């Protein structure tokens, strides 16, 4: 059996098309500001893709690029300026930031109502308590793809590999809210293979190329591969051994073209949601 591909690119195109109509219905375009500190090439690509999609959706968007030696206080002042700007509905600081900048201080400086990346402690708390806040974009994108697979989540065994605040932890919460029985695996987990073998839904968010072996996957399982790694040949590979896993899985996301485009679509969704909320006030 060969798995059905969960085509994130196609689903993301549908999502952004629907968002375009919502954005156009507002009295002013939703505004997204993306702040990039330094010249990390991967971050530059992510930011470029985000602004390109923002353009398609009809958002007002600003890219603020600061040099790598920017002082933390100057970055915080820039975030404050965006926080005070009424045209800006969403602020995203692209991580990682250079080592001399405290990531948590940056996250804390973003007003929760403009935190479209969903990293602020208040939004994490809203997610944990099942209230309506901003949820990180990659986990939201995973849930949308899971919905498209049509696989029932109620009572399903879900295994999440990775426990970052950006991906692993929030996706585990969302799966739990969708009535899955969730196992959160991480770098200290014993016998990862045994956990994966029980899973109806596997989410891999680790950052190690092809670490999830095809033979671990339960036949018919849904496999969501969040990992974006550069292979020896310079091509992108996920955290799952795709070729082997697709022989056993029921549904699987490719890398690239799976979770990645959905992450960007969900950033647009969070920005439109923020604008709708702020304009309704």
Task: Point out the residues that are catalytic.
Answer: 50, 94, 117
Q: Tell whether residue 90 is a contact of ligand NAD (CB under 6 A).
A: no
Which window, 9-17, 53-61, 80-88, 258-266, contacts ligand NAD (CB under 6 A)? 258-266
Instruction: Using CB under 6 A, count the residues that bind ligand NAD.
Output: 24
* H or E stretch at 87: none
Candidates 109, 149, 263, 270: give the one binding ligand NAD (CB under 6 A): 263
Give the separation between CA 117 and CA 159, rounded to whole angstroms.
23
Q: Tell whether residue 119 is a contact of ligand NAD (CB under 6 A).
A: no
* Binding track over 189-208 against ligand NAD, x by CB under 6 A: x--x------------xxxx
DSSP characters over 20-38? HHHHHTSSS--EEEEEEES
Nearer to ligand NAD, 87 or 187 (CB): 187
153 contacts 179 by C-beta, under 8 angstroms:
yes
Nearer to ligand NAD, 29 or 115 (CB): 115
SS3 90: strand
Candidates 11, 59, 161, 272: give the one binding ligand NAD (CB under 6 A): 161
Tabulate helix, strand, coil % of the chain (nearest 5): 45, 15, 40
Q: Tell whether residue 16 is a contact of ligand NAD (CB under 6 A).
A: no
Nearer to ligand NAD, 60 or 240 (CB): 240
CA atoms within 13 A on the CB side of 99: 0
Give the separation between CA 146 and CA 142, rounded to whole angstroms.
6
Pick left, alpha or beta for residue 15 (phi over 0 → left; psi -120 to 50 → alpha; otherwise beta). alpha
Nearer to ligand NAD, 61 or 216 (CB): 216
Q: Tell whether residue 167 is a contact of ligand NAD (CB under 6 A).
A: yes
What's the closest the beta carbon of residue 84 comes to ligand NAD, in angstroms?
29
Q: Tell whether residue 228 is a contact of ligand NAD (CB under 6 A).
A: yes
DSSP secondary structure code for residue 257 in this structure: S
| Alpha-carbon radius of gyration of the chain | 19
Q: Tell whether residue 133 is a contact of ligand NAD (CB under 6 A).
A: no
Secondary structure (H, E, C), 180-239: CEEEEECCCCCCHHHHHHHCCEEEECCCCCCCECHHHCCCCCEEEECCCEECCCCCEECC
Which window, 78-86, 223-231, 243-251, 272-280, contacts ligand NAD (CB under 6 A)? 223-231
Nearer to ligand NAD, 29 or 214 (CB): 214
Residues at the site binding ligand NAD, with contacts judged by CB under 6 A: 138, 161-164, 166-168, 185-187, 189, 192, 205-208, 226-229, 259-260, 263
């Amino acid at each position: 059996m060969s798995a059905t591909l969960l085509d994130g690119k196609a689903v993301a195109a549908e999502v952004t098309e629907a968002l375009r109509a919502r954005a156009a219905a507002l009295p002013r375009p939703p505004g997204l500001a993306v702040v990039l500190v330094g010249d990390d090439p991967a971050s530059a690509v992510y930011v470029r893709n985000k602004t390109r999609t923002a353009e398609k959706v009809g958002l007002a968007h600003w890219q603020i690029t600061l040099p790598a030696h920017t002082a933390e206080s100057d970055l915080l002042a820039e975030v404050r300026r965006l926080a005070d700007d009424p045209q800006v509905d969403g602020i995203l600081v692209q991580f990682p930031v250079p080592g001399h900048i405290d990531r948590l201080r940056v996250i804390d400086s973003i007003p929760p109502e403009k935190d479209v990346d969903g990293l602020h402690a208040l939004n994490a708390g809203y997610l944990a308590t099942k209230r309506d806040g901003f949820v990180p974009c990659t986990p939201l994108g995973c849930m949308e793809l899971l919905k498209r697979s049509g696989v029932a989540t109620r009572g399903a065994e879900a295994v999440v590999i990775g426990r970052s605040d950006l991906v692993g932890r929030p996706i585990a919460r969302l799966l739990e809210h969708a009535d899955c029985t969730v196992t959160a695996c991480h770098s200290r987990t014993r016998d990862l293979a045994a956990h994966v073998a029980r899973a109806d839904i596997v989410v891999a968010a680790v950052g190690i190329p092809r670490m999830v072996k095809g033979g671990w996957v339960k036949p018919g399982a849904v496999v969501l591969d969040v990992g974006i790694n550069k292979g020896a040949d310079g091509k992108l590979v996920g955290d799952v051994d795709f070729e082997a896993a697709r022989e056993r899985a029921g549904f699987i996301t490719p890398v690239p073209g799976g979770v990645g485009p959905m992450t960007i679509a969900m950033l647009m969704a969070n920005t439109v949601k923020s604008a709708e909320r702020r304009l309704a006030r």
